[in-house]
């Protein structure tokens, strides 16, 4: 487990102000927008600040709890005083609860990312517009009017709670209640920042450029660490999740790592064979149509499909042929076709219907019927 104090570069008796100052200095230097490739280190710094800026989490961490500030295995019902405090909210010799922290981690955000098929298949950059919460520039997240200080609550003297006498089945008991003046924070913002009204954050609309990995599909999510909403009180940002929505392409359909399309060709090209140009994402390619091609025949163009996500290699393009019969013939064209029909003995075509009884199962039935 990493040492949060060492991560932020502060001593174990550092004040809340020293911890916040150290975090802001590191966050500006390690933010992924400023220093690409520092996402992991930025997350460690954010976690350290999240724990050490919260008095309860910091106390748990100092007492050997988990790196997220959860209570350690020795916490819980450690004695009569702990049990008493659990049921009666304090007193009985137990210590007062710690004041709440104004600094909290920001929320994660989920935004739709619309991209075209080419970007999804081969990767690239895409712009996305988001509405988020940013740290207030005027008060730097404190919530107090610039030039003023956050003062200690005169009612609870910074404890965040006040003790009251209450009648119980066991007689009169001293209980801890959330301080009504500071609402449990232990401090009071007497003069709120006029820009953020004391929240330490302001709403903002911005456009960010996202690097889309090659091979993403509809419904995939891209996580951007530290790009979610800023936390209250100057807290660390949450994460931003982008849900990929791939727009339809006018020619190609995606089938895994393959592309599929339909190519309409003239009747003469189908009969005689031809080389038909097809514009792909790799430029113009040639579709080899064999002589006598029929509607529904498929031509495969190898290695021209989509890039596979986090894997080497590309899929293929499958071109389904559709033979077009001419509908508006000139007199000369009609005469030529009639001559061809005569030469092929097709002036009175009988056609050929498919025999639905000629399949393998019908032959199997005939075999057993003859026994």
pTM passes above 0.75: no
Q: How far is CA 19 from CA 76, 107, 127, 157, in A?
A: 28, 21, 35, 22
Residue range(s) occupied by CATH 1.10.287.110 in the chain: 1-75
In angstroms, the CA 190 to CA 28 distance is 29
pLDDT of residue 349: 67
- Residue located via tokens 């495969």: 300
pLDDT of residue 297: 96
pLDDT of residue 171: 66
pLDDT of residue 350: 62
Q: State which CATH number among 3.40.228.10, 1.10.287.110, 2.60.40.180, 2.40.50.140 fits the domain covering 1-75.
A: 1.10.287.110
pLDDT of residue 86: 42
pLDDT of residue 72: 57
pLDDT of residue 1: 60
pLDDT of the chain along its 371 residues, tens only? 678 888 889 888 888 888 888 888 888 788 776 777 777 788 888 888 888 888 888 888 887 777 777 765 545 444 444 444 444 444 444 456 788 888 889 999 999 999 999 999 999 999 999 999 999 999 989 999 999 989 999 999 888 888 877 766 666 777 788 899 999 999 999 999 999 998 899 999 999 999 999 999 999 999 999 999 999 888 899 999 999 999 999 999 999 999 999 999 999 999 999 999 999 999 999 999 999 999 999 999 999 999 988 888 899 999 999 999 988 889 998 999 889 888 888 777 666 665 555 554 455 455 545 54
pLDDT of residue 76: 45
In angstroms, the CA 358 to CA 148 distance is 93
In angstroms, the CA 154 to CA 354 distance is 95
In angstroms, the CA 35 to CA 39 distance is 8
Which CATH code for domain 253-343?
A: 2.60.260.20
pLDDT of residue 93: 42
Residue range(s) occupied by CATH 2.60.260.20 in the chain: 106-141+201-248, 253-343
pLDDT of residue 23: 84
Binding residues: 136, 139, 153, 156, 179, 182, 193, 196
Binding residues for Zn(2+): 136, 139, 153, 156, 179, 182, 193, 196
Topology of domain 106-141+201-248, per CATH? HSP40/DNAj peptide-binding domain (2.60.260)
């Amino acid at each position: 487990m990493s040492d949060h104090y060492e991560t932020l570069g502060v001593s174990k008796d550092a004040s809340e102000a020293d911890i916040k100052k150290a975090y802001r200095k590191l966050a500006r230097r390690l933010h992924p927008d400023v220093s690409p490739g520092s996402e992991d280190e930025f997350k460690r710094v954010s976690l350290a600040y999240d724990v050490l800026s919260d008095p309860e989490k910091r106390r748990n961490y100092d007492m050997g709890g988990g790196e997220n500030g959860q209570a350690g295995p020795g916490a819980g019902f450690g004695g009569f005083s702990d049990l008493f405090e659990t049921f009666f909210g304090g007193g009985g010799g137990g210590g007062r609860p710690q004041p709440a922290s104004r600094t909290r981690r920001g929320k994660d955000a989920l935004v739709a990312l619309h991209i075209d098929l080419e970007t999804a298949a081969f990767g690239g950059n895409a712009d996305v517009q988001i509405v988020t919460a940013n740290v207030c520039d005027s008060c730097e997240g404190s919530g107090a009017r610039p030039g003023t200080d956050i003062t200690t609550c005169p009612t609870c003297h910074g404890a965040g709670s006040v003790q009251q006498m209450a009648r119980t089945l066991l007689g009169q008991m001293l209980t801890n209640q959330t301080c009504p003046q500071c609402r449990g924070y232990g401090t009071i913002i007497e003069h709120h920042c006029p820009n953020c009204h004391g929240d330490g954050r302001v709403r903002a609309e911005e456009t960010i450029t996202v690097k889309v990995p090659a091979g993403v599909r509809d419904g995939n999510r891209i996580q951007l660490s530290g790009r979610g909403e800023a936390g209250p009180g100057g807290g660390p940002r949450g994460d931003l999740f982008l849900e990929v929505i791939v727009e339809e392409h006018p020619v190609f359909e995606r089938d895994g790592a393959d592309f599929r399309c339909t190519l309409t060709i003239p009747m003469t090209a189908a009969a005689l064979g031809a080389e038909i140009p097809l514009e792909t994402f790799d430029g113009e390619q040639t579709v080899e149509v064999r002589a006598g091609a029929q509607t529904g025949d498929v031509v495969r163009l190898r290695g021209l499909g989509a890039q596979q996500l986090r894997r080497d290699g590309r899929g293929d393009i499958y071109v389904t042929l559709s033979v077009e019969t001419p509908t508006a013939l000139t007199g000369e064209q009609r005469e030529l076709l009639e001559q061809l029909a005569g030469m092929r003995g097709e002036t009175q075509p009988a056609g050929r219907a498919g025999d639905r009884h000629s399949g393998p199962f019908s032959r199997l039935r005939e075999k057993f019927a003859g026994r």
